[in-house]
A and B are shown apart, each in its own frame.
Chain A
Amino acid sequence: MLGLPSCKQVSEQCSYQLDEDLPMLKRARLKLHLAICEQCRRYVKQMKLTDASVRYWVRGRRMPSEVKQQLLTQFQEMNNPDTGKKDDSQ
């Protein structure tokens, strides 16, 4: 029937589309399917929200302070290879 994708295919294609554009014809058929299928419209919306939520969750992780402290120390030592002569003018 018009070569429209099945709901199962739509669920895959909407993920592919988050990473790169589908070829034009596929995109048009996907749109047509969505125009007539409420369940897929909802799934596609939730797929986008899921993707954004995982990104949000990734960004929310905080650096443990001891790891940060160690790196800062290394950063300062790196810039002052001669640690006996530390610049403390700040």
Chain B
Amino acid sequence: MSDKLPADDQLIKQLLNQDSSAFQQVMDAWYGSMYYVASSITSDAIADEVIQETWISVLKSLPKFEGRSSLKSWVMRILANEAKTRRRKESRNVSLEQIEDSWSTDPRFDSVGHWQTTTSSWHADSPDQLMQADELKNCIQKHIDLLPEKQKAALMLRETESYELDEICNILEVTSSNVRVLLHRARDKVLQVIDRFEREGKC
């Protein structure tokens, strides 16, 4: 789970001391999180640009960093702000009412909310075993990209483990009960994708 980075104060010292290898290490360690946050708020096309701009402003303001939060959360907050200023028009925005509608008629449950179908049993019980097949990774990527804008963004912001729920609410401009719903629907979708892959061996 750990990024195997030095502790914050050490890392900051190294960055301020112009240590390129420390900079490389931290860029590598946080790239995945940064990429998915940037791309879900803006788009894949400019995600790397947003990341670059973020790092530049991080490096510029690093001498003033006061350590009230971890370095990573500070960086991720700067990233989210940077991305928000370049947010695209929401092309695939689906209203929460629509999300609720499809949930209320979800065919997996009967009229009193009991399971009518059941998920299959999966071959693995750890992420690295489960995610061994590249087809599954690509399949998950594809379906996450197909999620409605805010569902995708909520999931990505959350799964980068960098934001509290209320920060996600602020970034997405939704209430906390909405963000819970968005997260559940998104995770449930990915779960169904994995389940189909486990059953049929294809996307």
Task: Classify the secondary structure of B's interface with A.
Answer: helix
Question: Within A41-63, which residues are at the interface with B (CB < 8 Å)?
Answer: 42-43, 45-47, 49-63
Asked if A16 meets B180 with Cβ closer than 8 Å, knowing A7-B114, A59-B32, A67-B51, the reply is yes
Please determine whether B113 and A7 come into contact, CB atoms closer than 8 angstroms: yes
B155 within 8 A of A: yes
The contact of A49 among B28, B109, B127, B181, by CB within 8 Å, is B127
Q: What sequence of 0s and 1s flags, for each residue 160-199 of chain B, a beta carbon within 8 Å of any chain A beta carbon?
A: 1100010000000000000011011001101100110000
Please determine whether B121 and A68 come into contact, CB atoms closer than 8 angstroms: no
Asked if A8 meets B52 with Cβ closer than 8 Å, knowing A50-B190, A75-B20, the reply is no
Please determine whether A19 and B158 come into contact, CB atoms closer than 8 angstroms: yes
Chain A residues proximal to chain B, CB less than 8 Å: 6-9, 11-12, 15-16, 18-20, 39-40, 42-43, 45-47, 49-64, 67-68, 70-72, 74-76, 78-79
Chain B residues proximal to chain A, CB less than 8 Å: 18, 20, 23-24, 27-28, 31-33, 35-36, 48, 51-52, 55-56, 59-60, 106, 109, 112-115, 118-119, 121-122, 125-128, 130-131, 137, 140-141, 144, 155-156, 158-161, 165, 180-181, 183-184, 187-188, 190-191, 194-195
